[in-house]
Amino acid sequence: MIVSNGGDEKAVAPSVPLKIAVFASGSGSNFQALAEAVRDGRINATLDLVVCDKPSAYVLERARSFQVETFTFSPKDYPSRQAYEEEIIANLQARGIELIVMAGYMRLVTEVLVEPYYGRMINIHPALLPAFPGMDGIGQAFEYGVKLTGATVHFVDGGKDTGPIIAQQAVEVRDQDTLETLGERIHQAEHELLPQVVGWIADGRVSLNGRIVTINN
């Protein structure tokens, strides 16, 4: 991965294969799509850790079935967001994690994570950003009545889904759609888009210059 900021270009050479941590709070269907792509050799990476803030989340079962280690915490056990992020960082650094993939991690992150991982931390959002950021991007777009929505993968900058956009996949809203049928097609799009983007990063093809992201051949 090449990270460039306002002319001050720096190359972050990933080790081969790229060491990834997935952050998730819920079902983990995006984790599953990624884990299958890694298992099948479609991404030159290893999934080394799942970080989860909900001890009952189904993603933890999925992680176990792929034999991926987990770090689970309850935010209420810590005095601040910074305090649990310090512990997360220690876990990431102990494993040499090079890329953080947020896949349904329902928390904003602070400088504790953003500063060391800027340009190496991505998120998937179920809408075409900058439209419908935050919670329930699918429902927001459906209620608004847009004809086109989709999924976005972007770098994380600490804001609410505000970081530089890497890739987007559009999903048409059909007249007969319900929230459920639209949601299913958006999740399908996510399950294609996220492994594709992670594959590009693992292959060192993604560069970032200010807000502009380029995928190199």
Q: Return residues touching ligand GRF (CB under 6 A).
A: 24, 26-30, 103-104, 124-126, 190
Closest CA to 163 of 194, 142, 133, 138: 133
Min dist CB 191 to ligand GRF, Å, is 8
Name which of 125 and 185 has its Cβ closer to ligand GRF.
Answer: 125
Min dist CB 7 to ligand GRF, Å, is 32
d(CA 91, CA 107): 18
Name which of 114 and 151 has its Cβ closer to ligand GRF.
Answer: 151
Active site residue 125: yes
d(CA 71, CA 77): 14
Min dist CB 105 to ligand GRF, Å, is 7
Return the residue nearest ligand GRF (CB atom): 104
Q: Which of 125, 154, 187, 191 is catalytic?
A: 125
Name which of 20 and 124 has its Cβ closer to ligand GRF.
Answer: 124
The residues assigned a catalytic role are 125
